[in-house]
Amino acid sequence: MLRQADLGGFAVADDVDALVAMTRILSPHCRVTRMAGGALIADWKRTRFLGMAPADIQKFAGGSSEERAELVTGLIRAGCATARRKEHSDVEVGLWLRGVHLLIRTMGFGRVLRLLSLAAPDYARADPPSAEVVARLKRTVQSHSRRSWLVNDDCKAEAVTAFVLLRRSGLKAVLHVGVREHPFALHAWTSSAGLCIPDADPCGHVFTPVLSINGGGQ
């Protein structure tokens, strides 16, 4: 399927939908371009180029799930895509939430935010996160938070836990810290796929973001 590119032997491919589908799979450091006879993947991280045949390109749009899975596996093995890890289990989410809460209480929220570059690397997948996946994580995080006498609905622990778990799964997420003036209060939440963990406006109170972390600790 994938081969080291020979830039002289391609014909034009017009299947735009297939190229769009492929772009969503590729890692951010890769770019795909229509070429004569298929497509060219530019891997700028490794400074190399890979070619794909027209039949393989079309499978991204109209192929069977088995054919598509085979192509994605090939891209992952070639280093052009990152495998999305399985969703975190209920037990894992609970352990992360309690651990993050204890870390915040021990070190302080500001110091924990500075450690995010170690615990929450930049997302590796170009395709957007699924709202269904984020919604399940939100339910799990908040369920553990409400049941735990230790965490007790701590928005900071919920937001950091969600941010770390989404990033470690290769998904894009942004951590926000907001402020409300009257009466003064701070609130933290993580946004991903159009959802917020926890809610950005609890009980209808609007918080103005004063800090947004959309990279590993940046």
Higher-scoring residue by pLDDT: 171, 208? 208
pLDDT at 62 (0 to 100): 72
Please check whether residue 144 is in contact with residue 97, taking contact to mean a CB–CB distance below 8 angstroms.
Answer: yes
Residues 60 and 96 in one domain: no
pLDDT at 13 (0 to 100): 36
Residues 16 and 116 in one domain: no
Distance between CA atoms of residues 50 and 40, nearest Å = 6
Residues 199 and 109 in one domain: yes
Please check whether residue 116 is in contact with residue 216, taking contact to mean a CB–CB distance below 8 angstroms.
Answer: yes
pLDDT at 16 (0 to 100): 63
Residues 206 and 161 in one domain: yes
Per DSSP, the three-state class of 208 is: strand
Per DSSP, the three-state class of 159 is: helix
DSSP 118: H
Helix (H) or strand (E) holding 158: helix 155-168
Query: How many structural domains is the chain composed of?
Result: 2
Q: For residue 82, is it within any domain? A: no
pLDDT at 6 (0 to 100): 39
Higher-scoring residue by pLDDT: 190, 150? 190
What's the gap between Cα 101 and its chain centre? 22
Higher-scoring residue by pLDDT: 217, 61? 61
Residues 137 and 161 in one domain: yes
Helix (H) or strand (E) holding 42: strand 38-43
Evaluate if residue 80 carries a pLDDT over 50: yes
pLDDT in tens, 149-162: 888 889 999 999 99
Residues 101 and 201 in one domain: yes
Please check whether residue 97 is in contact with residue 152, taking contact to mean a CB–CB distance below 8 angstroms.
Answer: no
Find the domain containing 196 and state its range: 90-213
Question: Residues with Cβ < 8 Å from 32, sequence gap 6 or more?
Answer: 19, 22, 23, 26, 39, 40, 41, 42
pLDDT in tens, 53-64: 878 877 776 777
Integer Rg of the chain from CA: 21
Evaluate if residue 66 carries a pLDDT over 60: yes
pLDDT in tens, 92-138: 999 999 999 999 999 999 999 998 888 887 766 656 778 999 999 99
Residues 97 and 68 in one domain: no
Q: With bands split at pLDDT 50, 70 and 90, how would you rate the model's confidence at 12?
A: very low
Instruction: State the average pLDDT over residues 205-215.
Output: 88
Distance between CA atoms of residues 42 and 204, nearest Å = 47
Distance between CA atoms of residues 137 and 131, nearest Å = 10
Higher-scoring residue by pLDDT: 125, 145? 145
